[in-house]
Chains A and B, each alone.
Chain A
Amino acid sequence: MIAYRPTDGDVHAARIAWKPRTCFVMAQMGAPIPATVTRAKTRIARRLRQAGFKTVDADSKTTGKDFLLKVWSLAIACPIGIAIVHEGMRPDAMANVYYELGWMHAWGRETVVVKVGNVQLPSDLVRTEHIPFDAQFARRFSEFVESLRDRCAYYLVLANQLEKNPLLAIDYLRRAYLLSGDVAQRKKADTVYEAAGLANRAPDSVERLLCQF
């Protein structure tokens, strides 16, 4: 996949710092943040930690460079995205969350929206998986976390079946690797890459960058 930077529309011709087994949490960053949102964040992080996933958000890293580019590269580098929207959320914060969620959809990431309180999703997102933060939250969120294993297995099957389409197979291997952290998938991508006769590509070529994970 060719990555276009949101800051200038140019191709991002550099290796992305992939974050396997990491979840990007999208939520309002500045105060005031209701206590229920903080509780939701804590429970999400705890459940993901139990399953061996880390959580990061827009404040997790300071680069001293462009903030939008930092958030974008963090979001697309993670295999999982969880958007937390709450009742009474500032409209600008809500827009940011949905904008970042859109990046993650475009990159085929595993996403879910957690709704805290009575908040209505925009019509474009009505088919996006969402979980209310209520008495059933623990069960529903656990089901989502447990489904990630099946999704990883699905990507591996597709990678195997699509070897005649090497770049697509490598992309599926990368998605599987980001979910599993299993370096065997990275090695398999190298094998597919070599077998496709792509070894003479330039270091920053689209093909080579796809394989570098």
Chain B
Amino acid sequence: MAKNRDIVQVKNPRTGHYVKIDRAAGTIIDHKKSEGAYKDVPVARKASKGK
């Protein structure tokens, strides 16, 4: 199944859990309760600039 490029995930450093983001809708759509990343969801990379 093709990946939906508008859905990405990012690890929240405060909780250590991943959050899932719908880029097209501009919303956080889910917070993972368990360890590890969502399956088949790309991890958004860090911004290239900033501290």
Interface residues of A (CB under 8 A from B): 147, 149-154, 156-166, 168-169, 176, 179-182, 184-185
Contacts and interface: CB of A to CB of B under 8 A. Distances in A.
Contact of B13 (A150, A163, A166, A182): A150
B36 interface: no
A164 B47 CA distance: 17
A149 B10 CA distance: 15
Q: Is the interface of B mostly helix, strand, loop or mixed?
A: loop
A180 B47 contact: no
B51 A158 contact: no
Contact of A165 (B14, B26, B51): B26
Q: Is the interface of A mostly helix, strand, loop or mixed?
A: helix
Contacts of B13: 147, 150-151, 153-154
Nearest to B14: A151
Given A154-B13, A157-B45, A161-B8, A149 B21 contact: no
Interface of B: 8, 10-14, 21, 23-28, 44-47, 49-51
Contact of A153 (B14, B25, B26, B50): B50
B44 A161 contact: yes
B14 to A, nearest CB: 6
Given A157-B47, A165-B25, 16 more contacts: A149-B51, A150-B13, A151-B14, A152-B51, A153-B51, A154-B10, A156-B47, A157-B44, A158-B10, A160-B44, A162-B26, A162-B27, A168-B26, A182-B50, A184-B49, A184-B50
